[in-house]
Structure 1
Amino acid sequence: MPAAVLKLDPAMFDPAAIAPDTRAINAGIIKALGAVPDRWIYPMAVLRKLRLEGKGPFPLAPESPLAQVIEIDGPHGPVPLRILTPDAPKGVYLHFHGGGWSLGSARENDGLNHRFVERTGFAVVSVDYRLAPEHPYPAGPDDCEAAALWLVREGPARFGTERFAIGGESAGGNLAVSTLLRLRDRHGLTPFCAASLHAGCYDLGLTPSARQWGDEPLVLNTRDINVFVGHYLREGGDVATPDISPLHGDLSDLPPALFTVGTRDALMDDTLFMAPRWLAAGNRTELEIFPGGCHVFIGFPGTLADAALARIHGFISAA
């Protein structure tokens, strides 16, 4: 039987378990986003530009001095990879950013990825995959698959190691799992020793927590999810297809995975459903639930983010 740590203590879901600083952070996020006019009246390209200029609703992390950008060939053209490399990497982490398949970038994750390098000794390869609605499904997953194949092919010589991990946040968690399935099914490859999957969206048909969340602007709400899915599947696609919604896939022969999510996340059920399925497929599975954590709370300051990041870094380091 695979080893597992599935922590589902009911006390973690009790509002009384939420720490005061987490409550304060969530209140600040709701206030900030509640003051923003309807962002969906703007084209995604405009929202992306504002975020990269540091004019989004939250601060842009400083650029990592370790970062360099290269381009690799992909099925739809060049795919930029943002690479952060320490001296003598202990491994390589292939990272897919969040943003609903429509927003976000590797650059915006420099803060988290630089910290990842410092705490694990791993290099980070963050993929700037194509974004919807300009490039709907399957362009993004195609780019992610190309990046994974590049790492398998070029990684040992470039980084001096074959110890590879994979992961991402939100839409990036979805893309990480779809990439694992593609490598296994299309190429007969299982090259990753670990997966870190934070607040992933694994069922684009929407799990109960996503459907029932409502309008509260705590990073992500039900309308936001529907907007993102609409852009991503602009040219169609069955939401029950494992390449789109990996919760519905055959999850056998996948690497050990750590699933992390907060209890104040519209996508909480995606993780609560996916982790047991990962385990039932015969894979080592660890699950950590963080009281009061909002969607991708690791991107905000606070003791909760510090605890979750320490857990993630420790899991990858020990893989």
Structure 2
Amino acid sequence: MIDHALFDPATIDPETKRLNAEIVAAHAAQPDPWTLPIEEVRARRRAGTQASPAMPRSARAEWLTIDGPEGPLRLRCIRPKPGTKLRGAYLHIHRGGWIWGSADEQDPWLERVADTCGFITLSVEYRLAPEHPYPAALVDCEAAALWLAGKGRAELGVNALTIGGESVGAHLAVMVMLRLRDRHGLGRAFRGANLNAGFFDLGLTPSVRNWGAERLVVNTEDLTRFADGYVREGIDRRRPDVSPIYADLKGLPPALFTVGTCDPLLDDTLYMSSRWAAAGNGGHTAVYPGGCHVFVRYPGAMSERALELIDRFLMALA
């Protein structure tokens, strides 16, 4: 049961309040991203922004290339540092509203998983919308998962497999598990899922619809446009193969759901985690007072607590 006190604004600590104010101010000082031409959007995909800077790249990372549905598919790989016991592999799917982001923009997170948990981490460089709308990103991630569950397991010398992602990466992670279950008979290919601030209902939950214009990382317009860019007009966004919150979730592995109470996607996690539990899959839901969208991207005491819980969850799956 989730403690209702977590949702009391009085429980938000001063550090989190200060961080949230800085994020809102940083976004307000930048051009509205939806006024940019697509050419500039492409250019800025790699540049990051002051409000959400790209993380440092790892000198240890390497690129693996596998066969994808439309040609070569790249996976960013970070192996545990020497002396770390190898426990398995973690398939990561990055955030970015299906139109931003890259597999190399969260290397510090993946280094942490590699070195603390003993997992070889693999982040999928999937195709981005609007140039490549639904289901392009999903079939790329499915191909990566199938490779890892097949010959990749032997090539990497691992047995325990886990999966996870942030925001739309969490959405794609769940969709991948559903496709592996329904199309390939591999419902338990992964031992568990790390699902951070997922975007699980592209029809938009109440917390998204009611959030408004304040851009605390993302706002109502951002999330609406993300869904518009990913899913073509005419496709029912509440189909189970588009929005996993409406899917039959039975037979999936345990999941750790992480979300902050100041995230427009709060309802997505609360609803999905309840359905996950009702399906008998097991897991845990961690709600953090005042946390913005994917708050673990911003250093702080609360982020460290959340990351430590993720570490423990993943290690327990090995």
* TM-score, L = length of structure 2: 0.95
| Counterparts of residues 81-230 of structure 1 (less than 5 Å) | 81-86=75-80, 87=82, 89-189=86-186, 190-230=188-228
1:40 corresponds to which of 6, 17, 34: 34
- Deviation string 1:156-215 (CA, Å, 9 cap, x unpaired) is 222211100001000000000000000000000121001000000110000000000000
Answer yes or no: is the 8 Å Cα contact 2:26–2:50 preserved in 1: no
Answer yes or no: is the 8 Å Cα contact 1:204–1:245 preserved in 2: yes
Rounded Cα–Cα distance in structure 1 between residues aligned with 2:97 and 2:278? 28
| Structure-2 change in CA distance of 1:33 and 1:250 (3 Å) | same
Rounded Cα–Cα distance in structure 2 between residues aligned with 1:69 and 1:275? 33
Amino acid of the residue matched to residue 27 of structure 2? L
1:31 corresponds to which of 19, 25, 34: 25
Answer yes or no: is the 8 Å Cα contact 1:102–1:232 preserved in 2: yes
2:46 corresponds to which of 41, 52, 55: 52
- Partner residue, 2:9: 15
Answer yes or no: is the 8 Å Cα contact 1:89–1:159 preserved in 2: no
Answer yes or no: is the 8 Å Cα contact 1:258–1:286 preserved in 2: yes
Rounded Cα–Cα distance in structure 2 between residues aligned with 1:45 and 1:144? 25
Amino acid of the residue matched to residue 10 of structure 1? H
| Structure-2 change in CA distance of 1:28 and 1:55 (3 Å) | closer
Answer yes or no: is the 8 Å Cα contact 1:262–1:297 preserved in 2: yes
Deviation at 1:236?
A: 4.2
* TM-score, L = length of structure 1: 0.95
Answer yes or no: is the 8 Å Cα contact 2:24–2:216 preserved in 1: yes
Deviation at 1:52?
A: 2.2
| Structure-2 change in CA distance of 1:28 and 1:121 (3 Å) | same
| Structure-2 change in CA distance of 1:44 and 1:109 (3 Å) | farther
Amino acid of the residue matched to residue 93 of structure 1? Y
Rounded Cα–Cα distance in structure 2 between residues aligned with 1:183 and 1:77? 20
Answer yes or no: is the 8 Å Cα contact 2:9–2:290 preserved in 1: yes
Deviation at 1:59?
A: 2.6
Rounded Cα–Cα distance in structure 2 between residues aligned with 1:115 and 1:279? 28
Rounded Cα–Cα distance in structure 1 between residues aligned with 2:59 and 2:105? 14
Answer yes or no: is the 8 Å Cα contact 1:95–1:124 preserved in 2: yes
Deviation at 1:58?
A: 2.9
Provide structure 2 residue ranges, at least 5 long, that are not aligned to the other structure. Answer: none
Amino acid of the residue matched to residue 65 of structure 1? A
Answer yes or no: is the 8 Å Cα contact 1:194–1:256 preserved in 2: yes
- Partner residue, 1:245: 243
- Partner residue, 1:305: 303
Rounded Cα–Cα distance in structure 2 between residues aligned with 1:158 and 1:206? 40
Deviation at 1:123?
A: 1.0
Q: Which shifted more, 123-132 or 55-64?
A: 55-64
Amino acid of the residue matched to residue 275 of structure 1? S
- Partner residue, 1:3: none
Rounded Cα–Cα distance in structure 2 between residues aligned with 1:256 and 1:242? 20
Q: Which shifted more, 109-118 or 282-291?
A: 109-118
Answer yes or no: is the 8 Å Cα contact 1:133–1:234 preserved in 2: no
- Partner residue, 2:278: 280
**Aligned residues: CA RMSD:** 1.4
Deviation at 1:55?
A: 4.8
Amino acid of the residue matched to residue 178 of structure 1? M
Rounded Cα–Cα distance in structure 2 between residues aligned with 1:11 and 1:263? 11
- Partner residue, 1:64: 58
RCO greater where, 1 or 2, for CA within 8 Å and sep 6 or more?
1
Rounded Cα–Cα distance in structure 2 between residues aligned with 1:80 and 1:42? 28
Rounded Cα–Cα distance in structure 2 between residues aligned with 1:154 and 1:235? 37
Answer yes or no: is the 8 Å Cα contact 1:266–1:295 preserved in 2: yes
Deviation at 1:50?
A: 2.7
Deviation at 1:270?
A: 0.2
| Structure-2 change in CA distance of 1:48 and 1:288 (3 Å) | farther
Identity value in percent: 52
Provide structure 1 residue ranges, at least 5 long, that are not aligned to the other structure. Answer: 1-5
Q: How many residues align?
A: 313
Q: Which shifted more, 86-95 or 287-296?
A: 86-95
Q: Which shifted more, 203-212 or 46-55?
A: 46-55
